[in-house]
């Protein structure tokens, strides 16, 4: 029996020292995030950088809402890719289907947890949602379609997709045999059952795709239909939300696929064709999003209202300029990274050699500049009142951005030779851009977009908000890491 237990595929049931170490680090980070949240519950939102708009020159929505949008966006690509793989019979992408489905479920859980700390009094917020909910409000649609309907549909699809593998693994004696039998629920993978299962999953996939587009468009409408808030009121909000959701989700899926390709040694199943396919789709979506951004900027600066123009200038060369250009630069660098593997075959260019020492030096310098930026922003001596507007260390942000660009450029020769490395770089860069863009959507319209005669405000997140967000990321990684030890992350091969 011991021998059969070891045959569980893809490292299921095998716990290495490295895995336990990772688990311990993630548990510590989750605990730190819980501690930070406990301080917020005990002392109130005053321990965060969140303040009232206008009268307190602050922002009522900040890091929590920005990451709520980010996590919901990440969830979009996961289940969408899984549904499209089934509907369009994209057999080449089948190995990443379950990774995508799990990414969706974990991201939706994190999105729900991101909203709770922003409420201040979560129980009161949930109760009032049930008491005073208005079905015509985009907020209502977001909570019902995204958090409830979307998550439920994803869980059902995930369960059905894993049922066959659960039935196969239930035949192997192991400590998890009872769990697999429970998941299989009598399924034996006969031809008739396989056909019925395929038909059910197919129609569920058809139902999921429009639900996803509607859900993400609704989230965009939360901002896009607020006519009294320059920067948010735009017809492009809904489609831009959907496109950026695809960008961040596919980028993260590329990174996850590369991690499992390396950790599990599955170079044949997770072959380069998958990275080429996903990288091409990601490059296309990045191009579409850049087009949306240029169109939005041209419209607001050419014919926009006075406040709209002022807000746009704050993004282009004001207090948010460094974050805006870092986000745009990350998108452009990601696009260049994804295209680079094809350049030598298209045009006769001589790609210089990769210099690891130079890349490490640039990376260390960028990390050092980032550390200085964090200390500068949160030092009581330099910023007398956290969140109430202190001297903005813009030059540190520009130095950090410049060093980060040098760091990425130093890896370009490697990207030109490896489609996997290019995909990972592109995936990481678009997620940096996605976080930046979510912050730029949420915050500047509150600090610089008010129509009432208030002066410009500011928003600086505190250690509490950073810790809660770090704890959420650790929680998501922890859930993903635990799952892959109890169930195969890829479909089990036929011979089993």
pLDDT digits (tens, 9 = 90+) for 57-113: 788 899 999 999 899 888 877 778 878 888 888 888 888 989 998 999 999 899 889
Over residues 226-232, the mean pLDDT reads 79
Distances (CA, A) of 297 to 139, 291, 307, 314: 27, 10, 14, 12
Q: What is the mean pLDDT of residues 191-206?
A: 84
Of 32-46, 53-67, 286-300, 341-355, the poorest mean pLDDT is in 341-355
pLDDT band, residue 495 (cuts 50/70/90): low
Instruction: Give the confidence band of 349 by pLDDT, cuts at 50, 70, 90.
Output: low
Q: Which structure tokens are listed for 490? A: 């890829």
- The pLDDT, as a whole number, for residue 345 is 58
Residue 264 contacts residue 10 (beta carbons within 8 Å): yes
**Res. 145: pLDDT tops 70:** no
CA 80 and chain centroid, separation: 14
Cβ atoms within 10 A of the Cβ of 455, count?
Answer: 10
pLDDT at 224: 78
Q: Are residues 301 and 411 in contact, defined by beta-carbon separation less than 8 angstroms? A: no
**Structure confidence at residue 352 as a pLDDT band (50, 70, 90):** low
Task: Report the pLDDT averaged over residues 395-419.
Answer: 75
Provide the pLDDT for residue 279. Answer: 92
Q: Mean of the pLDDT values across residues 193-220?
A: 81
Place 124 in a pLDDT band, splitting at 50, 70 and 90: confident
Percentages (nearest 5) of helix, strand, coil residues in the chain: 75, 0, 25
CB 15 within 8 A of CB 485: yes
pTM metric for this prediction: 0.86
* pLDDT for 21 beyond 90: yes
Q: What is the dihedral of CA 424, 425, 428, 429, to 10 degrees?
A: -150
* Pick from 407, 329, 323: nearest CA to 373: 323
Q: pLDDT tier at 369 (50, 70, 90 boundaries)?
A: low
């Amino acid at each position: 029996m011991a021998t059969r237990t070891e045959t569980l595929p893809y490292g299921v049931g095998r716990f290495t020292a490295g895995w336990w170490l990772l688990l311990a680090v993630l548990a510590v980070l989750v605990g730190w995030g819980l501690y930070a949240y406990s301080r917020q519950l005990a002392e109130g939102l005053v321990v965060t950088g969140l303040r009232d708009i206008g009268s307190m020159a602050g922002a009522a929505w900040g890091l929590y809402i920005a990451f709520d949008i980010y996590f919901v966006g990440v969830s979009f690509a996961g289940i969408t890719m899984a549904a499209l793989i089934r509907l369009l019979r994209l057999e080449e992408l089948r190995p990443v289907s379950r990774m995508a489905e799990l990414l969706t479920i974990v991201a939706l859980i994190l999105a729900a947890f991101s909203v709770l700390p922003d409420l201040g009094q979560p129980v009161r917020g949930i109760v009032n949602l049930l008491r005073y909910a208005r079905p015509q409000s985009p907020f209502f649609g977001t909570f019902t379609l995204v958090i409830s309907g979307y998550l439920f549909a994803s869980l059902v699809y995930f369960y059905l997709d894993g049922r066959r593998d659960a039935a196969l693994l239930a035949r192997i004696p192991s400590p998890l045999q009872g769990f697999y039998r429970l998941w299989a629920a009598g399924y034996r993978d006969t031809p008739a059952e396989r056909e019925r299962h395929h038909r059910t999953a197919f129609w569920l996939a058809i139902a999921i795709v429009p639900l996803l587009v509607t859900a993400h468009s609704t989230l965009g409408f939360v901002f896009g239909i607020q006519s009294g808030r320059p920067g948010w009121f735009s017809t492009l909000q809904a489609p831009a939300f959907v496109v950026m959701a695809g960008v961040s989700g596919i980028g993260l899926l590329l990174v996850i696929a590369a991690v499992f390709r390396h950790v599990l040694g599955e170079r044949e199943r997770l072959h380069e064709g998958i990275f080429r396919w996903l990288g091409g789709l990601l490059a296309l979506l990045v191009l579409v999003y850049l087009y949306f951004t240029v169109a939005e900027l041209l419209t607001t600066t050419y014919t926009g209202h006075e406040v709209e123009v002022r807000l746009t200038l704050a993004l282009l060369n004001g207090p948010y300029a460094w974050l805006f250009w870092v986000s745009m630069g990350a998108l452009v660098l990601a696009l260049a990274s994804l295209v680079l593997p094809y350049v030598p075959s298209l045009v006769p260019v001589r790609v210089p050699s990769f210099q690891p020492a130079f890349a490490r030096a640039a990376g260390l310098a960028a990390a050092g500049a980032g550390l200085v930026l964090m200390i500068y922003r949160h030092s009581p001596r330099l910023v007398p009142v956290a969140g109430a507007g202190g001297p903005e260390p813009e030059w540190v942000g520009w130095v950090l951005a410049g060093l980060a660009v040098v760091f990425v450029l130093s890896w370009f020769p490697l990207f030109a030779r490896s489609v996997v490395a290019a995909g990972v770089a592109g995936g990481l860069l678009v997620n940096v851009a996605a976080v930046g863009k979510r912050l730029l959507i949420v915050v500047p319209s509150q600090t610089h977009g008010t129509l009432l005669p208030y002066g410009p405000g500011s928003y600086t997140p505190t250690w509490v908000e950073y810790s809660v967000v770090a704890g959420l990321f650790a929680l998501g990684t922890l859930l993903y890491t635990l799952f892959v030890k109890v169930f195969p992350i890829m479909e089990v091969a036929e011979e089993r």
